[in-house]
Amino acid sequence: MQQTKKSDQTILIFLSALTGLNLLQSYVTELIFDEAYYWYFAKDLAWGYFDHPPAVAFFVKLGSLLFNGELGVRFFAPFLFSGAIFLIWKLIDSPKKHEHTLLFCLLSGSVALLNAYGFFMLPDTPLIFFSTLFLFSYKNFLNKKNTKNILMMALSMSLMMYSKYHAFLLIAFVFLANISLLLNVNFWKAVGLSLVFYAPHLWWLSANDFAPLRYHFFDRADSYYKITYTTEYLLGLIGIMGFAFPWIYYSIIKTTNRNSFDRSLKFAVWGIIIFFLFSSFNRRTQAQWPMLIAIPLIIFTFRYALNHKKFRKGLAIASSVSLAVVCFLRLAMIEPALVPFSYETHGNKKWTAELKEKSKGLPVVFSNSYRNASMYSFYTGVDAFSLNDLQFRLNQYDLDTSELRFQHKKVALMINPEETPPSFMVRQAFKERKISGIFVNDFSSWRKVKIKTTAANIDAFLKPQNITLQNPYNEDIDLHQLKMYGIRLDRKKRILDTLNITMHHSKMSAITANSSLDLKVSIADSLPENSDAEFFRLAISENDLPCGFQGDIIPVR
C-alpha cells in the first residue's frame, strides 16, 4: 500500500512537471505552419473544416480566450498530453508497476514524436488524449457494461472522430478483434449514442456537399508509386518511437494476450501498421498518421519490462538516450543556433514583420499557400488570403467566405517572380524560401463560380456543348473577365496539358448576381490521338489569374 501511494505521488509529480515544462515551451516557441492554419480555423468556430473535424479549432479558440499569442493557441496541449499519459498509467493493471514508476516516466517521456503533442496544438493532440480515453473506457466496458461505461465509450468515440477522421481505424480494429461484441446490445447502444454525439459534424458535412471527403477520395491528385514512400514509412515507424524502438517492437511480438483487451490492442497496432503500409503504395504517408500505435506499444513495452530485468535495463538506457535527443531538439526549436538547419519555428516573426513593412500593411493574397497566409495573419494581425489554383490543392480558404473580404480592394499579391517582375521580396528562414509580390489596385477573383455539365466525356466538347455557370456572388460577373480552359489529367489526376476553350456567343454579357447562365463551349484545339489522359475538367481563369477548381472531374472516355 505504501509503495502504491508513493508510486502514484511520483506519477503526479512527473505529470505536473511535464505540464509545466510544456506550458513554458508553448510560450517561448514560435508557431509551426499547421498550428497557424488551425488558429485560422478557430477564428470562425464551426462543426467542421475542409481539412479536419473541429476539435483542434475548439481547443485553440478556448485557449486564445484565456491567453494571447502562442500560449493561447497551445494552452490545452500540455494538459491533454499529461492526461493521456495518466490514462496509460491507469491502463497498466500489473501490481509490479509501482516498483518501476521512474521507468514508466522515462519511457512515456522519451517516445519521440508523441512528445511533440505535449506542446504543439495539432489535430493529433486531442486525438491522442481521446483515443487513450476510448481505450480506458473500452476496458471498463468489457469488465462492466453499465450505463456509465456505455456513455464514456460513446463519448470518447465521438470525440476521437471530432479530432481526426482516421480515429476510425483504431475504433474499427479494436472492435474487429472482439467480434462477439456485435451480438451485445450494450455495444450497439454505445455506437448509436456516439453517432448521436457526432451528428452535428455529419450535418455539417452534408451541408457542405461532403467537400473534405470528395476531395480526399475523388479530386486530389495521387502520386505515382516510389519505393521511397514505403521505405520512408517504415523508417517513420522507427522514428516515432525513438531509440528504444527495438525494445518497443520486440515487446509486442513477445507479449501474449492475457484477455480480449490485449487482443484488441495488438490487433489495432498491426492493423494500423498494415493499413498505412498499403497506403504508402499510393502516396507519401506522414509520420504522424500511425501515431496511435504508440499508446498500446507503451503499455506492452512497460508491462514486458516488469518481468524481464535484462530487457528493462536496455529499455532504460535506450529511453534515456532518446529523451536526451528529444530535449535537445526541443531546445533547438527555440534557439536556431543550436542546429545547422532551420525549422518551422524559426524566424516567423521576422519574415512576417518584414513583409508587413514592404507590403505597406495592405491585405495580402498569397498564391497557393494557406500556411503562409495563416502564419502571416497570426503574427501581424493583417488580413490574408490563400488564392489556390490547379497547381495546388483545395483548403479551408476555398470553403469559407474569406475571399469576399478582398474583392475590389488594393492588395499585395504574392506571385511567381519567374513569371511576373516582383515589386518586393522577403526571405523565410525555413528552407530559405523567397516570397515575392506586387501591388494590385482592384483585386477580384471568382473562385466560387461553378461549372456544371452533363457531358459524359471529353468528346462531347469537340463540338459546342451546353454548360451552366453558377454565380454565388452578390454582384454580376463580366464574361469578358473570364477565360475558360480544358485541363487534361492522367490516371493519378495530375495535369498533363491545358486546352483552349471557346465560349460561344451568348446574349448575356455577364452572369448576374446569385444566378446561373447557360451557354455553349467547345475545345478550340485538336486532340492528339495518343495520350495518357484519363480525366478532364473545365476551369476558369478570371482576370488572368491561374485557373481554379470550378469544373468537376469527368472521364476522358
pLDDT in tens, 182-195: 999 999 999 999 99
Does one domain contain both 329 and 256?
Answer: yes
Tell whether 14 and 141 lie within a shared domain.
yes
Q: Is 69 exposed, middle or buried (0-12, 13-18, 19+ CB in 10 A)?
A: middle
State the pLDDT confidence band at 514, using cuts at 50, 70 and 90. Answer: very high
| Pair 416, 514 in one domain | no
Q: How far is Cα 296 from Cα 301, in angstroms, rounded to an integer?
A: 8
Surface-to-core class of residue 407, CB atoms within 10 Å of its CB (0-12 exposed, 13-18 middle, 19+ buried): middle
- Report the alpha-carbon distance of residue 304 to residue 308 in Å, rounded: 7
The answer as to whether 268 is a domain residue is yes
Shared-domain flag, residues 199 and 320: yes
State which of 443, 464, 488 marks the end of a domain. 443
| Other CB atoms within 10 A of residue 485 CB | 19
CA angle 411, 416, 420 (to 5 degrees): 80
Q: What is the pLDDT of residue 1?
A: 63
Write down the pTM of the prediction.
0.95
Confidence check: pLDDT of 120 > 80: yes
For residues 490 and 430, membership in a common domain is answered with no
For residue 249 the three cell numbers come to: 517492437
Residue 324 confidence (pLDDT) above 90: yes
How far apart are the C-alpha atoms of 25 and 39, rounded to whole Å? 18
Residues 461 and 527 in one domain: yes
Mean pLDDT of the chain: 94
What does the pLDDT read at residue 525? 84
Asked if residue 342 is part of any domain, the answer here is no
Q: Are residues 111 and 199 in the same domain?
A: yes
Last residue of a domain, one of 443, 461, 491: 443
320 shares its domain with 425: no
Per-residue pLDDT reduced to its tens digit, 50-67: 999 999 999 999 999 999
More confident residue, 251 or 214: 251
CATH number, domain at 465? 2.60.40.10
Banded pLDDT at 213 (limits 50, 70, 90): confident
Same domain for 524 and 480: yes
- Are 171 and 34 members of one domain? yes
- 366 and 281 co-located in one domain: no
Residue 63: predicted pLDDT: 98
pLDDT above 90: residue 81: yes
In a domain, residue 82? The reply is: yes
Does residue 115 fall inside a structural domain? Answer: yes
Is 195 part of any domain?
yes
Same domain, yes or no: 269 and 374? no
What are the distances in angstroms from CA 488 to CA 283, 545, 553? 21, 19, 10
Q: Render pLDDT for 326-347 as a digit per residue (tens, 0 to 9).
A: 999 999 999 999 999 899 999 9
Q: Are 244 and 107 in contact (CB under 8 A)?
A: yes
Query: Of 398, 423, 443, which residue sits at a domain end?
Result: 443
What pLDDT, in 10s, does the model give residues 349-404?
999 999 999 999 999 999 999 999 999 999 999 999 999 999 999 999 999 999 99
Range of the domain at 548: 450-555
Q: Percentage of the chain with pLDDT > 70?
A: 99
> Is residue 341 one of the residues assigned to a domain?
no
Domain for residue 8, yes or no? Answer: yes
Single-letter residue type at 407: Q
**Average pLDDT, integer, range 432-451:** 95
Asked if the model's pLDDT at residue 480 lies above 80, the reply is yes
**Within a domain: 199:** yes
Average pLDDT on 524-529 reads: 82
For 183, half-sphere exposure in the C-beta direction (CA atoms, 13 angstrom radius) is 3
Q: How many domains does the chain divide into?
A: 3
- Quickly tell me which residue has 505536473 as its cell: 16
